[in-house]
Structure formats: structure tokens, C-alpha cells
Amino acid sequence: PIALVWFRNDLRLADNPALRAALEAGYTPLPLYIHAPEEEAPWAPGAASRAWRHHSLAALDADLRRCGSHLRLFHGPSLAILQAVVVATGAEAVFWNRRYEPVVEKRDTGIKQALRTGGLRAESFNGSLLFEPWEIRTRQGGPFKVFTPFWRAAFAQRRIPPAWDPPASLGEVPGGPAGVPLEALGLLPSPRWDSGFWGVWTPGERGAHAALGQFIEGALGDYAEGRDRPDREGTSRLSPHLHFGEIAPWRLAAGILAARASTSAAGADAWLRELGWREFAYHLMHHFPRSTEHNFNPAFDRFAWAHVREEELERWRSGNTGVPIVDAGLRELWATGWMHNRVRMIVGSYLTKHMRTHWLEGARWFWDTLVDADLANNTLGWQWVAGAGADAAPYFRVFNPVTQAARFDPQASYITRWVPELARLPVALRFAPWIDRATSARLAPDYPPYPMVDLASGREAALAAYRQLREPR
């Protein structure tokens, strides 16, 4: 008997519950992937994410071929394609691992019902979280809105499944629709602005396991401190691998826990806590699905966002605001599809506070440019930065990008790497070139002479708008 194994954001063979269930039930798996971005609107995958997916699908297909199988690719409405492949192959079952984006969750529920109505076995599994969003509850039985108690409750319930590796041969389903070639899905950008990415990243399951090994050998020991330093390789860079499900989070947790004793307990615990923020983000997205587009805290619906001109937004996007650490981050994002977490917070604070721009503008730009673009984490990150979220930084905490840069990039090496126009300035001036206009004009003539939005007055205007929000109507 045949079962379709519908790959989505679980682009791996090891620790893949849907694939495992199909094999254990005695089915020959028919692996397939369906490209249907319109079904994910308004958060259809962005350009950097599509490029990653192209490479990750190629890697998955190569891994399947090593096991005597292969990945069939389709483009079109998911349900109709699943039904057509079922009819053409005589498959009896469809298995997949769950996704949690509100629109996708709803679609999948409909698909499951339709398949079951048609007499098929349709089952979904947890392939991407340590805890299902509905498993962790407050004492009153509701969802959590604050991270620390959430993580305390969740961590106490952890069970880490043993590793599972697929058999050497998966078997092949002869015949049936061949699908389309990978190139026909049109996932790669044109022109190819992503070419700089692939020297830095290796999409696919092997790349994910290699990144874990490298992190344990390298940055984990000093992670508790190093995680805040954009000038170092202080974090795991596992986020795109996690988003695409190229490695199971429980496999990561097991690896880090195993290394805890031999490297650093502080580093391991701090890292698991960050993985906990990812779990929290999925918990919130499931229980508060409106939050992907609306302020989590409804008081912010009355916030006086500034009227931002497209030209200013474009200067922010392209990393030409005149604030060095902000520009460095946005240029790193453009060049590599990733940005350090500390810098994500700094560029987000400048956009939502100094520029008083709605967080959704930032969220949309990140969505299009991040290789790790993830609706749960991106929503949480932006709502946190803007002060509008659950358990967010309070709005009045406006990051000062100059002191942040001096503290977390003390030699300005991160800034200089991404904003080479500043390389001839003394280090102290690279954080804030406008402090000595004459020197900066001479040694960094190609860099904006002052910030697009002045730091002091931008901060004052943001705080004034915030005070207004808190006044009774």
C-alpha cells in the first residue's frame, strides 16, 4: 500500500514523524511537495525564503534518492493535487507534519476533512515543536502571555524523543504523476541577488546537522555572553534550518543537553531558553491568531504613528539612515538574508520609535528579506520591539543605537564590515560620525553627514506620542 508523505516545513528525513508513521504502518511512501503560495496570503513566502526553499528541496530530493526514492514537485491548489495523486497512484493514506500559521492551519483542517470524507486515512503529526501550542496551559487552563512562566511550565513537561533515522531504503512508487522540475516552481529570484548567500549557508538536512556540530564545538561555551555580540560568531545560525524543519528541535535540544556538562551549563541553558522563545512565539500565534496583523495590546490601535514617506522607508531598508549600527544591520540582512538578533532589535527600535513607523512595515521587509522569515518569530520580534506585544519591551524603552553599538560592537568591527565608508574614521566616531562633522566629511565623505531622524528629537517625539496614548480619552 502507498501513502503520500506531504513535505512542507519539515524538509528532512531523520526525526520526521510523518515519514516514520507511514513506514511503521507498512506503507511505501510517495514523498511530494506542493508549491501554493497563494494559499498562505497575506503572508505568502518572501523572496529570500523562497530561495532557501529551492535549495532545501534540492537537498531533500538528493537525500531521498540516496534511499531509492525521490521528491515529486507540484504547483497548484494543495487539495486538488493531493486528490489527483491519490487517484493516479491508488494511495490509501496522506501523512504530514503540522504547520501553525493561522491561515495554513485552517486550510489543513479543511484538507484533512475532505480527504477523510473521501475514505482516505489522513493524519498529521508534530514535526516542528517541542510542545504543541495547546499542551502548555496556565493553572486556570488558558494560554500564557508572559514568557518566563510559560517556559518554566513547558520545560518541566519536556520529553525528548529518541533519535530516529530512516531505513537505508525507502522504496519507490512506480508511475503516477511525475510533477514538475524544481526550476519550474520559480523559487529563485531574478536577477540572482541571492548569490552571496550560499557561501554563508548550506540549506538542507546535512547543513543543519553541520551547523549544530559547529555551534557545539564553537560558540556554545560562551553563548551566555557572546550571543549579544554581532561582531562575533556568537550564535548558532540555526534559525533558517529550524524554520524549514531541516532538523528537529528535539534533536537540537538533545544535542545541547548532552554537551551541557562538557561545555558550559550557562551557555546551554541560555540557548535552550532562546529555543523556548520560539516555542512561546508559536504558542502565542496559535492562541492569538489576530496578532500576526494586529497589535497584541489593543491600546496601540490608537497610537499616533508618524506619516512616513516612502523615501525615508527606502533609506531604512537599504541601510542609508546615517546611523551606523542600523545601516550595518540592514546591509547584513540584504547581503546574507540574516541579521544578528541584537541588531534586529536596534533597527526595529529605530523604525518603530525614532521613525515612529508601524511595526508591520518592518515585519514585511524582514518577511521578504530574511532566509529565516518565520511568521511566529517575526511577529513576536516586531511586536516586542514596538512595545505592542505580549510580554514586550515597554514602549518607553527606546534603544540608543550609539550606546548599543559601543557596548556590543566595541571595536566597531561589525559596523566597519558592513559600512566600509566609515573605515578611515577613528573607532569612537564610527558609532556616531556626526559628532565631529569636519573629520567625518574628510574621512567618510560618502556616508550621510547626520542621521535621517535625529536621535534626541526622534526619541522625544516617540515618547510624547506614547504619553498621549496613555492619557484617558
Q: Which residues bind ligand FAD (CB under 6 A)?
A: 227, 235-239, 242-243, 274-275, 277-278, 281, 341, 344-345, 348, 366, 370, 372-374, 377-378, 380-382, 385
Does 373 carry a binding-site annotation? yes
Residue among 78 and 377 whose Cβ is closer to ligand FAD: 377
**Shortest Cβ 88–ligand FAD spacing (Å):** 37
Residue among 29 and 329 whose Cβ is closer to ligand FAD: 329
Does 237 carry a binding-site annotation? yes
Q: Which amino acid is at 437?
A: R
**Shortest Cβ 464–ligand FAD spacing (Å):** 24
Residue among 64 and 392 whose Cβ is closer to ligand FAD: 392
Does 372 carry a binding-site annotation? yes
Does 414 carry a binding-site annotation? no
Q: Which residues are catalytic?
A: 274, 277, 305, 341, 359, 382
Measured from the Cβ of residue 124, the count of other Cβ atoms closer than 10 Å reads 19
Does 374 carry a binding-site annotation? yes
What distances in angstroms separate CA 94 from CA 19, 103, 123, one per listed residue?
Answer: 10, 20, 7
Nearest-angstrom CA–CA distance, 370 and 348: 14
Does 239 carry a binding-site annotation? yes
What distances in angstroms separate CA 396 from CA 148, 323, 326, 386, one per listed residue?
Answer: 21, 20, 19, 10
Residue among 85 and 345 whose Cβ is closer to ligand FAD: 345
Does 235 carry a binding-site annotation? yes
Does 223 carry a binding-site annotation? yes
Q: For strand 93-97 and strand 2-7, is the pairing parallel, antiparallel, or unpaired?
A: parallel
Nearest to 87 by CA among 119, 124, 125: 119
**Shortest Cβ 209–ligand FAD spacing (Å):** 14
Nearest-angstrom CA–CA distance, 24 and 15: 13
Residue among 19 and 375 whose Cβ is closer to ligand FAD: 375
Residue among 352 and 440 whose Cβ is closer to ligand FAD: 352
Residue nearest to ligand FAD according to CB distances in the complex? 381
Apex 259 CA angle, 254 and 262, nearest 5? 160
Nearest-angstrom CA–CA distance, 332 and 227: 17
**Shortest Cβ 236–ligand FAD spacing (Å):** 3
**Shortest Cβ 379–ligand FAD spacing (Å):** 8
**Shortest Cβ 238–ligand FAD spacing (Å):** 4
Q: Which residue positions form the known binding site for FAD?
A: 223, 235-239, 271, 372-374
Q: Which residues are documented as binding site?
A: 223, 235-239, 271, 372-374
